[in-house]
Structure 1
Amino acid sequence: MRSRSCSRTGCSARATSTLTYAYADSTAVLGPLGLRAEPGTYDLCATHSSSLSVPRGWDVIRLPAAETDAGPSSDDLLALAQAVRVAGLGAETELPVEPTVGRRKGHLAVVADG
């Protein structure tokens, strides 16, 4: 597996985190490095991750780095969705503990709306 470089122009440092924007919620989500580069995401090195700034009025959600390199758990997508909901609504909303089983695509599960 080849390591990826920082997406910032002129930076060739090794990427350590992935940045994703939720434009509708005016939220930037910075989390552990994704399994692969995806359109609409940006890989950042440790320096650029720690100095991330967003437009005024936007929120930044910083997800903790994984302690082990065991890969994503089945709760990763639900945790990200919950974090965006909390940032957007300003209050915690409950998600089902056991998601409805749906079709799997890659490492993310497609969950039917209940």
Structure 2
Amino acid sequence: MSHVRRCSRTACRQPAVFTLTYVYADSTAVLGPLAAYVEPHCYDLCAMHADRLTAPRGWEVVRLPVEAVGGGPGSDDLEALADAVREAARPPAQTEPEGEDPTRRGHLRVVRSDQQPPRQS
């Protein structure tokens, strides 16, 4: 028995060919090829609804290319892309303020093995 996944849009009976997922923290919608498995927070869309997809103001839509022949992106690729979008949106790592000792971090201090410890008198 063949089970064809249908478009997630109400009253649409067309077969799904795309999967839509969201990265809420980055205000990004990712539309890619149909995922191999049904995911609870993803939406399967037919070609017509995927073409008409719009995002709210301030959101970005990332459309992954779909290859006509097999071997294109799989379900893990959508997750990888969402992770890459999250990583790119993270603020850069803080650098040390100027004038501070780079070997000292809070109450800890870096002691290099090539340095001789100070002699106590």
Query: For the superposition of Structure 1 and Structure 2, which TM-score range results when normalised by the shorter chain?
Result: 0.5 to 0.7
Which 4+ stretches in 1 moved above 2 angstroms?
Answer: 66-73, 75-82, 85-89
Within 5 A, what are the aligned runs for 1:41-80? 41-70=42-71, 72=73, 76=77, 77-80=79-82
2:83 corresponds to which of 67, 81, 84: 81
TM norm structure 2: 0.61
Structure ID, larger Rg? 2
The one-letter code matched in structure 2 to 1:46 is: A
Residue 79 of structure 1, CA deviation: 4.5
* Alignment of 1:21 onto 2:51: no
- Structure 2: give runs of 5+ residues left out of the alignment: 91-121
Residue 67 of structure 1, CA deviation: 3.8
SS in 2 for 1:31: strand
Kindly indicate whether the alpha-carbon contact (under 8 Å) linking 2:6 and 2:14 is maintained by their aligned counterparts in 1: yes
TM norm structure 1: 0.65
CA distance 1:13–1:2, change in 2 (3 Å): same
The one-letter code matched in structure 1 to 2:44 is: D
In structure 1, distance between residues paired with 2:32 and 2:57? 21
Percent of matched pairs sharing the same residue: 53
SS in 2 for 1:19: strand
Residue 20 of structure 1, CA deviation: 0.0
CA RMSD, Structure 1 to Structure 2 (Å): 2.4
